[in-house]
Structure 1
Amino acid sequence: MKGPYPEIQGGGSLILAWQIRNKKILVVGGGEVAAGRIVNVLNADANVTVISPRAGLNDEVAHRIEQKQVAFVDRKFEPSDLDGVDMVLTAVDDPEASSQIYKLCHEKRIPANIADVPPECDFYFGSVHRDGPLQIMVSTNGNGPKLANIVRRQIAASLPHNIGAAVQRVGILRRKLRKVAPAQEEGPKRMQWMSKVCEQWTLDDLCDMTEEDMETLLGFYRPGTVPSLEQVRLQEPDGAYDGPFLI
């Protein structure tokens, strides 16, 4: 008999947004797969070093190196390359070498992803849709990367065109609210009030919200009410609304 709580399915991965800003990421390999990995970690503001013989670089990786977006070591991997590294991503056409790198990472407790070898991965890369601050990842837990890409594209096609901009404006409002109510005990109230804003305002409203609108809207935080964007603008200095608000 099913209970009131989520049923445990098992066999999944813990999907996290891993913060690797300024972390040292080592990419072993310079082909197409390595190029995709490099984009992923550069987008997360990591410090990236690529190790590969120059002859094995594809055009995109060579471009990253030329633009000094990554550091480059022109040779094959050596065990000492793991010193001081926070994460390792391998993408080489040598299963034996890849397994050896994974074993070394395991010994040093460095999280590693070995391309196309799911059993030797501490984490997987999913198929990601990016729109400004919005990121949506689809993972098949190593079962079907191509299928993950298809599912991701279908999800992206169903999203409103302006959702990324709306998320960005909400982030600005949230940071402003923390300044208005910085106390730790205000946490639950801040979350509840921001939830009301996101639920009651349309994506178009959130996108159109100006800095002045935000300052006016924040004046409604203490009583815990959420007026419409129209009502907010009628309250601003050039407005002339004197009547009651229907919240």
Structure 2
Amino acid sequence: MVERNNLFPVFLKLEELHTLIVGGGNVGLEKLTALLKSSPGAIVTVIAKTINDQVKQIAAQNKNIKLIEKHYENSDIEDKDLVILATDDRILHETIRNEARKRRVLINVADTPSLCDFYLGSVVTKGDIKIGISTNGKSPTMAKRIREYLEEALPEETEQLLNNLHAIREKIKGDFADKVKVLNDITSSWLENKRS
């Protein structure tokens, strides 16, 4: 049987959810930066005994980020929708994962795919177009290389094309099936022109 990625891709509105990051060092910084790159309005609480200066600088410029310098306690997970663990303490990660499971809160554990409910993939963004890339937790480096390729391959006019298609969609008469057919015809000819 051929191995395949069975993850279900989803795009979350992080400005409407509350994310907890446990860990305020370099890995916590990396995760916070990744969240804010895709969702600048994300609501995030960072809990760590020590929080590095770069995380503090980011928080000082963003009213949606709350920093708490202390040891994690199980009550910290209350009212959170997502949890990202970014420490070097496997036992702590397992403890928090067990608590998150009881509360039905989704969790990501940096560099430990077996403890994750979801992965943070590589993301390509061109205006309103966003493409998520997953290697099923096997190789973030490969995901990064694919992201770099797609960022280069997608023309800068991509956002204008999307806006044009949206305007056309608003003007098309008929039911949903009619609109889909017209837009499919338009976009298939666009792809044919790109291949020539």
Aligned to 2:181: 192
Larger relative strand fraction: 2
Q: Secondary structure at the match of 1:190?
A: helix
Aligned to 1:98: 93
Query: How far does residue 128 in structure 1 lie from its aligned partner after superposition?
Result: 1.3
Question: Could you tell me which of 37, 44, 47 is aligned with 1:48?
Answer: 44
Counterpart of 2:155, as a letter, is P
Root-mean-square deviation (CA, aligned residues, Å) is 2.5
Query: How far does residue 88 in structure 1 lie from its aligned partner after superposition?
Result: 0.6
Structure 2: runs of 5+ lacking an equivalent: 192-196
Query: How far does residue 120 in structure 1 lie from its aligned partner after superposition?
Result: 0.3
Query: 2:141, 2:110 → 1: CA distance?
Result: 14
Query: 1:114, 1:35 → 2: CA distance?
Result: 14
Query: How far does residue 173 in structure 1 lie from its aligned partner after superposition?
Result: 4.7
Change (3 A) 1:39 1:189: farther
Structure 1: runs of 5+ lacking an equivalent: 1-6, 203-247
Assess if the C-alpha contact under 8 Å between 1:113 and 1:121 holds in 2: yes
Change (3 A) 1:173 1:103: farther
Query: 2:163, 2:24 → 1: CA distance?
Result: 34
Change (3 A) 1:160 1:118: same
Change (3 A) 1:89 1:171: farther
TM-score normalised per structure 1 = 0.67
* 1:104-139 CA distance string (max 9 Å, x none): 101111000011110000011111121211222221
Q: How does 1:4-23 map to 2 (within 5 A)?
A: 9-23=3-17
Counterpart of 1:160, as a letter, is P
Q: Secondary structure at the match of 1:80?
A: helix
Larger radius of gyration: 1
Pair 1:130 & 2:125 matched: yes
Query: 1:58, 1:169 → 2: CA distance?
Result: 44
Aligned to 2:147: 152
Aligned to 2:31: 37
Query: How far does residue 9 in structure 1 lie from its aligned partner after superposition?
Result: 4.6
Query: 1:167, 1:29 → 2: CA distance?
Result: 39
Percent of pairs with identical residues: 26
Q: Which structure has more RCO (C-alpha within 8 Å, separation ≥ 6)?
A: 2
Query: How far does residue 24 in structure 1 lie from its aligned partner after superposition?
Result: 1.1
Q: Across the two proteins, how many residue pairs are aligned to each other? A: 188
